[in-house]
Amino acid sequence: MDEMTPRLTCLLALCFAAACAPSGADSGGDEAAPSPAWGEGERSVSGNAFFFDMEDFGEIDWIQDLEGARLYVFEAPELEVTLSPEDEHAFRIDGVPDGVEVTLALTHPDFLPHLTATHLVDGGDLENLTFQSVSLRIAEMAGDLLQVDTLDPERCQMATTVTAPAPENIWAPGEPGATVSLDPPVPDDQGPYYFNELVLPTLTLIETTTDGGVTVVDAEPGEYLWTGHKDGVEFGALKMKCVGGWLTNASPPWGMNVIDGAGSN
């Protein structure tokens, strides 16, 4: 694969989300307001969003001129920005209080709505968060291929990349030979499913490849803790909100990373 070709985190797994955000999705509004309030905190959350389409099956197009995508804090939707190609779809949201959990959300009419993992803001800014956003066309292709109802607003989809140590960006190499588990657990027919080196989910795989992709499909909405497993290696755990009609994708460098042990490519 050419080094400039996007290594999409669970490319086809991204295509399991609903084609539009469901109305009335839980935005965390029932939670007690932090002190200081949202919008008045000293922390910021920043990173980049990447958008991908596929006019011809198997040929991924990196869309760098997309206008109008909305990005916001899921727990505080009033903290939002509109992305522009002029700044290469970079974002920064200020006013985040210290000591809160933050999930970022991204929506655009032509792309699948999805969330990042949920991260604790603890004594510093959150930097270099990423989105790997895929078009509705890719969603349709993947739905046909995998016989998944991408329009089901009652179910949610999750994905991450299990990465080698110290990932720098979304092109990070995967960590092979690892497995993941979820708490609460999901039925076997929901996954986890692992991706081969061609970025395709393979039902017969029982562990990650050098792609690192892993997904859970058609899950019951709620909150899940993802944990990685490999002899001699420790991974950082991931907390994911799973919302009906949405995909939650923890993409590098904020995916499931090796934090102790040698790891290997």
Kindly state the average pLDDT of the residues 33-41.
84
Q: What is the pLDDT of residue 12?
A: 42
Task: Answer whether residue 189 shows pLDDT above 60.
Answer: yes
The per-residue DSSP string of the chain comes to: --TTS---TTTTGGGGS-SSPPTT---STTSPPPSSPTTS-SEEEEEEEEEEEEEETTEEEEE------EEEETTEEEEEEE--GGGTTEEEEEEEPTT-EE-EEEEETTEEEEE--BEE--SS-EEEEEEEEEBHHHHHHHHHHHT--TT-TT-EEEEEEEE-SS--STTPPB-TT-EEEEES---GGG--EEE-TTS-EETT--S--TT-EEEEEEEPSEEEEEEEEBTTBEE--EEEEE-TT-EEEE-TTSSEEEEES----
CATH number of 13-20+34-260: 2.60.40.1120
Q: What does the pLDDT read at residue 102?
A: 97
- Tell me what the mean pLDDT of segment 119-132 comes to: 94
Least confident stretch, 131-140, 144-153, 166-175, 226-235: 144-153
**What is the average pLDDT score of the chain?**
84
Of residues 1 and 232, more confidence is placed in 232
pLDDT score recorded for residue 23: 37
Mean pLDDT of 129-155: 78
- Name the more confident of 63 and 105: 105
Average pLDDT, stretch 10-30? 41
- Distance in angstroms (rounded) separating the CA atoms of residues 130 and 212: 16
Confidence at residue 31, expressed as pLDDT on a 0 to 100 scale: 58
Dihedral sign from CA coordinates of 20, 23, 24, 27: positive
Long-range contacts, 137-141 (Cβ 8 Å, 24+): 137/53, 137/54, 137/55, 138/11, 138/12, 138/14, 138/15, 138/52, 138/53, 138/54, 139/14, 139/15, 139/16, 139/17, 139/19, 139/112, 140/15, 141/15, 141/54, 141/57
